[in-house]
Amino acid sequence: MELTNIERLLQKYLDAETTIAEENTLKNYFLSDNVAPHLIEYQPLFEYFSISKQEVHTKPLQLNTKKTNWKWLSVAASIVLLVSLYTGYEKNQQRKAEKIYNETQVAFNMLSTNLNKGNEAIAQLQYFETAKNKVFK
């Protein structure tokens, strides 16, 4: 009866479904001298848990108390970000101004071409006007 109960508890233990009391029962069984031969392979597991439970670390732990000053790093990152945004904005404004300047140059060239055509037409009209004045005088 006890062996079947231990086998059932061991299966529950391996499935991670045991309670603390059931685990204590298994621990007591496997730490005793009368373990069934087909369950002897689980005995080192429970021996390890009982030995490791008694281990105590006596050496004091030295914690690293050096803290990185994140405030200055965040301030420096903010300054770099602002400078890069400002220079990017300035370059963008310069590109826009150059584009507007080039468009204005194209418009002035078109205006100059059309005015020159008008001057040629006026020169021809003036030639006809002077010819007309000579004929009627």
Which amino acid does the sequence have at 58? T
For residue 98, tell me if it sits in a domain: yes
50/84 same-domain check: no
Which amino acid does the sequence have at 133? N
Global pTM?
A: 0.42
pLDDT of residue 134: 80
Q: Do 23 and 53 touch, CB atoms closer than 8 A?
A: no
**Mean pLDDT across the stretch 96-123?**
87
Q: Greater confidence, 69 or 30?
A: 30
As a whole number of angstroms, the distance between CA 95 and CA 114 comes to 29
As a whole number of angstroms, the distance between CA 118 and CA 112 comes to 10
50/87 same-domain check: no
Q: Show the domain range for 92.
A: 72-137
| % of the chain beyond a pLDDT of 90 | 13
| pLDDT for residue 24 is more than 90 | no
End-to-end Cα separation, the chain, in angstroms? 150
Q: Do 9 and 26 touch, CB atoms closer than 8 A?
A: yes
Q: Do 27 and 49 touch, CB atoms closer than 8 A?
A: yes
Q: What are phi and psi of 40, to 5 degrees?
A: -65, -25
Q: How many domains in the chain?
A: 2
For residue 64, tell me if it sits in a domain: no
pLDDT of residue 1: 52
pLDDT of residue 100: 93
